[in-house]
Amino acid sequence: MNSFEIFLAAQTSGAAGWIAERASLSGVDGAGAAALYLALKIVFGVAAIGVVMCFAALSVVVERKVAGFIQGRFGPNSTYIPYLMLVPVVGKTLRRLGLMQLVADGLKFLFKEEPLPGHVNKFWYTLAPIISLSPVLICACVVPFGVFEHGGKATALAAANFDLSLLFITVLGSLGVYGAVLAGWSSNSKFSYLGGIRAGAQMISYELVMALSLAPVLMWIAPRVSSPFNLFEIGMSQSGMWNIFAQPLSALLFLLALFAETNRQPFDMAESETDLVSGFHTEYGSFKFGLFFVGEYGHMVVGSSVFICVFLGAWSPLPGLSWPLEWGAWCGVLSFLTFILKILAMIFFFVWVRWTLPRFRYDHVMNLSWGKLLPLALANFAAYMVLACFIK
Amino acid sequence: MAIVVVERKKLSFWERTYLPQIAGGLWITLKNLFRKKVTLEYPEQRPALPARYRGAPTLVKDPDGREKCVSCQLCEFVCPPKAIRVSPGAIAEGSPYSHIEKAPAKFEINMARCIFCGLCQEACPESAIVLQKEFSVNGFDRKSFIRGKADLYEKGGVLPDNVMKWRKASLNAEKSKGGR
Ligand code: SF4
Ligand code: SF4
């Protein structure tokens, strides 16, 4: 079964399943129910993508605002829509928060001329931004944004919830780098090419660290859950204690790898302006650049969701606490809000680190990965393997 | 010159992990987050200009309301980008200031050319042209940047003058006339 089939055949107990079941209770059955189920799946998928896209957009604002504040500025605070300014408090607040700047930027990307340089490989050049964005959107469908009670069982508030979702998300998430590599190659420019190569090399080196830092966590929770590769189950297993306290080293390694994989400072080698102009998207402009841009932030959102699910207790508001399932729909809403809040905190952290640390040198990044982090991750893995024997 | 080998400080284990340094850096940026902002929100807030700020050049009058410029054209001559154009004219015979002889018939400054260098102010023997506080000069076409004499006087206004040399000169002239 390939991953797409896994994705489709996924689960029957998700939120969409819940609604479809209600529908079939009220008389719709057979093909009608199946069609409804499929339609609901699509709606949920679009909703999940919507959440991630909103957050990707929001993180651009957060980025610019926090950058400004850290540097003693205000960040974007002047763009406004004239008619919106007539609304008493709202208009002014939106303006000060720089949210209208976001609209302006988006429109600019959309309406700018779409240049296609003469010296590029047109097919791959056009495809690259799409390849860079789409894995993120697919991953969005797997993220369990919350938990609610259905038929006496805890159910994931996700478009798709299946046994290998953690694997699915890590594998698909790293496919995004093909966008960078293809962009670098097809742009036919040395800066882009170097950027693409760096993106690829960095992805390979840090993917190992990431996988190895996840392994001990899976071993740690394996005795307690039925399927340790399921993001939702991993999240549920942390109602007692967050994994970050049980496995601080794994969490640190995963976080470092996440920074590298999402191409964030201090690891943004693929587009380091100081030596590569703008890296793999040097030759891109207007909407295609916008796709890369959104893809990068979307990657950040999905990456933080994984970190939250695996290490930061998913929907539990505080270590040791969790929203009681008996609250029904309220539990769903509260857990969703908790998750969203955690994503925001993670985005803030990403931005905060970006404006604190200088960029590493490329060879240092490679050295850090192969020379330091990988042995450390291996040692961590081995240590937990030994430990797991004793625990059993 | 002898080569001096600098003794590097031995780093402790924690220093080599770089993590405490990162935490320290994060703490500093976090503190900055709440610091008072230094941005001047320009169109709403205006900068406080120092007393001798050199903004756009203007023509000024003395406390008697007399136009100080004697159209000597020194400013026109000195202006590096040739922004000033002075057309001298005569002062009417009956005027109390007729002994000055000349006043500008036309005086134009092209603000699209002016570079705010202040040489005109330095060159002027009459302190008639003064760079004042206007720093934002805008317009929709090139013509609107050419400021005529009336405009320049309106922008310049009246500046105090302790010397009033032309009044003394006229008094002296009258005195010497009466003494004769
Ligand atoms: S402004 Fe001063 S320098 Fe210029 S013409 Fe008048 S008197 Fe002469
Ligand atoms: S300030 Fe300088 S450039 Fe402007 S009018 Fe005076 S001499 Fe010319």
pLDDT (tens place) for every residue of chain A, 392 residues total: 344 444 444 444 455 555 555 555 555 556 677 777 788 778 877 887 887 788 888 888 888 888 888 888 888 888 887 877 777 777 778 777 878 888 888 888 888 888 788 888 888 888 888 888 888 888 888 888 777 777 667 777 777 777 888 888 888 888 888 888 888 888 888 888 888 888 888 888 888 888 888 888 888 887 777 777 888 878 777 777 788 888 888 888 899 888 888 888 788 877 777 788 877 888 887 888 888 888 888 888 888 888 988 888 778 777 777 777 777 777 778 888 888 888 889 989 998 998 888 888 888 888 888 888 899 889 988 888 888 777 65
Q: Is B57 a residue whose pLDDT tops 90?
A: yes
**H-helix segments, chain A:** 3-9, 15-25, 31-70, 88-97, 99-111, 122-140, 165-175, 177-186, 190-221, 231-236, 243-246, 248-261, 273-276, 286-310, 329-354, 362-367, 374-391
Region B96-103 average pLDDT: 83
Hey, is the C-beta of A356 within 8 angstroms of any chain B C-beta?
A: yes
Give chain A's length.
392
Report which protein residue has its CA nearest ligand 2's atom 3.
B114
Of B121, B120, B25, give the one whose Cα is nearest residue B78.
Answer: B120
Q: How close is the nearest chain B Cα to the Cα of A206, in Å?
A: 18
Q: Cβ contacts of residue A75 below 8 Å, gap of 6+?
A: A64, A65, A66, A67, A68, A69, A98
pLDDT in the model for residue A103: 82
Q: Are A155 and A18 in contact (CB under 8 A)?
A: yes
Domain limits of chain B?
A: 57-176
Query: Whose atoms come closest to the Cα of B107: which ligand?
Result: 1
d(CA A64, CA A69): 9
Q: What is the distance in A from the centroid of ligand 2 to the CA of B156? A: 15
Question: Chain A 115-154, CB below 8 Å of chain B: which residues?
Answer: none
Bond from prior residue into A144 cis (ω within 30 degrees of 0): no
Q: Considering the entire predicted model, what is its pTM?
A: 0.77
Q: Which amino acid is located at A329 in the chain?
A: A
Quick one: closest CA in B to A66, which residue?
B33
Hey, is the C-beta of B39 within 8 angstroms of any chain A C-beta?
A: yes
d(CA A333, CA A327): 10
Q: Are A146 and A336 in contact (CB under 8 A)?
A: yes
Hey, is the C-beta of A92 within 8 angstroms of any chain B C-beta?
A: no
Quick one: closest CA in A to B36, which residue?
A72
| Residue carrying the six token digits 């050199």 | B54
Of B60, B46, B43, B64, give the one whose Cα is nearest residue B131.
Answer: B60
b/e string for A338-376 if b means 16 or more Cβ within 10 A?
A: bbbebbbebbbebbbbbbbbebbebeebbebbeeebbeb
- The strand order across the sheet containing B102-110 reads B84-90, B102-110, B146-147
pLDDT in the model for residue A360: 84
**Ligand 2 atom nearest to CA at B82:** 8
d(CA B3, CA B16): 28
Q: Give me the half-sphere count of Cα atoms (radius 13 Å) on the Cβ side of residue A19.
A: 15
Chains A, B: CB pairs < 8 Å: 34
Residue B146: strand pairing partners: B110
d(CA B86, CA A245): 81
Q: Is B74 a residue whose pLDDT tops 90?
A: yes
ipTM comes to 0.75
Q: How close is the nearest chain B Cα to the Cα of A66, in Å?
A: 7
d(CA A292, CA A278): 12
d(CA B93, CA B97): 9
Quick one: closest CA in A to B39, which residue?
A73
**Ligand 1 atom nearest to CA at B70:** 7
Region B90-97 average pLDDT: 82
pLDDT in the model for residue B2: 86
Of A3, A18, A10, give the one whose Cα is nearest residue A162.
Answer: A10
d(CA A381, CA A214): 9
| Token couple for B156 | 């310049």
pLDDT in the model for residue A260: 86
Q: What is the CATH number of domain B57-176?
A: 3.30.70.3270
Give residue B49's Cα distance to chain centre.
Answer: 11
Instruction: Out of A341-345, A360-364, B38-42, B78-82, give the one with best mean pLDDT.
Output: B78-82
d(CA A84, CA A103): 13
Q: Cβ contacts of residue B99 below 8 Å, gap of 6+?
A: B166, B169, B170, B173
Instruction: Name the band, by pLDDT with cuts 50, 70 and 90, for residue B178.
Output: low
Of A204, A177, A206, give the one whose Cα is nearest residue A369.
Answer: A206
pLDDT in the model for residue A1: 37
d(CA A240, CA B162): 85
| Token couple for B56 | 């756009």
Q: Are A230 and A162 in contact (CB under 8 A)?
A: yes
Of A128, A96, A83, A108, give the one whose Cα is nearest residue A295.
Answer: A128
Render B12-56 in DSSP notation, one character per residue.
PHHHHH-HHHHHHHHHHHHHHHTSPP----TTTS-PPPPTT---S
| Token couple for A171 | 């594998």
